[in-house]
């Protein structure tokens, strides 16, 4: 991961000019698809993501049904044209992992017990990837679920932080993710600051981890405001 030949931070500024605690530009629009029950389009730096929700509807085959709650499943997919080297279409280890951790995080907020025997499908399509797509996808999916009118305890807000050179910074860009020392994506329930996803790639000391965690939670709190604003706009423009 780390590459000492690439100077990722110089005079306190990162490659794209950001400060250590500055997020990339984020835009979210809820309600972008006619045929989904809920949807959202999200831009996060150069990431471009669509999330679509279908359901709740009856789950088939029937033996998968749970009479006590709905089954929430998630499919994270990267388009073939979303990355520099063409991505081979179809699921792979990475997309299966991201689908799983995303579904696990969303199950913490969706009130699944309200829909026995049902399924809620969440699709995340990465149209353009530039690091941090699991966070971008999860933030979009949470807005799409709320847009679908599915009862939730909270939104899920996300952000990464990590270490580049000797500095701990928020929201790693592509080069920072590729050549940095460590990357910590998190997802929180913003009102209670409860963590529903936390992963780490690379190595950090305890102190560095604490700093990264704090920066990522602050970042996710900013993302929460953008998510709420996107939902408030529905039916407006």
Site residues for ligand UDP per CB under 6 A: 83-84, 87, 94, 129-134, 174, 177, 185
Query: What contacts 63, CB < 8 A, 6 or more positions away?
Result: none
The Cα 55–Cα 222 span in angstroms is: 29
Considering beta carbons, is residue 56 or 132 the nearer one to ligand UDP?
Answer: 132
On the question of a cis peptide bond just before residue 61, with omega within 30 degrees of 0, the verdict is yes
Write down the least CB distance from residue 121 to ligand UDP, Å: 21
Q: Are strands 118-128 and 71-78 parallel, antiparallel or unpaired?
A: parallel
Write down the least CB distance from residue 178 to ligand UDP, Å: 7
State CA 103 to chain mean position distance: 11
| Torsional class of 38: left (φ above 0), alpha (ψ -120 to 50), beta (otherwise) | beta
Write down the least CB distance from residue 78 to ligand UDP, Å: 6
The Cα 89–Cα 202 span in angstroms is: 27
Write down the least CB distance from residue 125 to ligand UDP, Å: 13
Write down the least CB distance from residue 195 to ligand UDP, Å: 17
Query: What contacts 235, CB < 8 A, 6 or more positions away?
Result: none
H/E stretch holding 75 reads strand 71-78
């Amino acid at each position: 991961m780390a590459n000492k030949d690439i100077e990722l931070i110089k005079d306190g500024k990162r490659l794209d000019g950001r400060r250590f605690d500055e997020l990339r530009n984020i835009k979210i629009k809820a309600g972008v698809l006619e045929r989904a029950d809920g949807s959202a389009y999200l831009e996060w730096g150069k990431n471009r993501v669509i999330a679509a929700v279908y359901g709740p509807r009856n789950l088939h085959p029937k033996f998968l049904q749970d009479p006590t709650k709905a089954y929430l499943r998630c499919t994270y997919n990267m388009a073939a044209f979303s990355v520099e080297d063409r991505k081979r279409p179809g699921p792979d280890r990475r997309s299966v992992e991201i689908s799983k951790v995303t579904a696990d995080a969303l199950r913490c907020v969706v009130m699944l017990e309200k829909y026995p025997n049902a399924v809620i499908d969440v699709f995340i399509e990465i149209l353009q990837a530039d690091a941090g797509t699991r966070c971008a996808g999860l933030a979009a999916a949470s807005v799409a679920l709320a847009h679908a009118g599915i009862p939730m305890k909270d939104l899920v807000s996300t952000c990464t932080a990590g270490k580049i050179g000797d500095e701990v910074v928020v929201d790693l860009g592509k080069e920072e993710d590729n050549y940095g020392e460590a990357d910590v994506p998190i997802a929180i329930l913003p009102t209670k600051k409860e963590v529903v996803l936390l992963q780490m790639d690379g190595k950090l000391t305890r102190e560095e981890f604490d700093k990264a965690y704090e920066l990522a939670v602050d970042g996710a709190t900013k993302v929460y405001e953008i998510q709420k604003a996107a939902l408030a706009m529905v039916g407006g423009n």
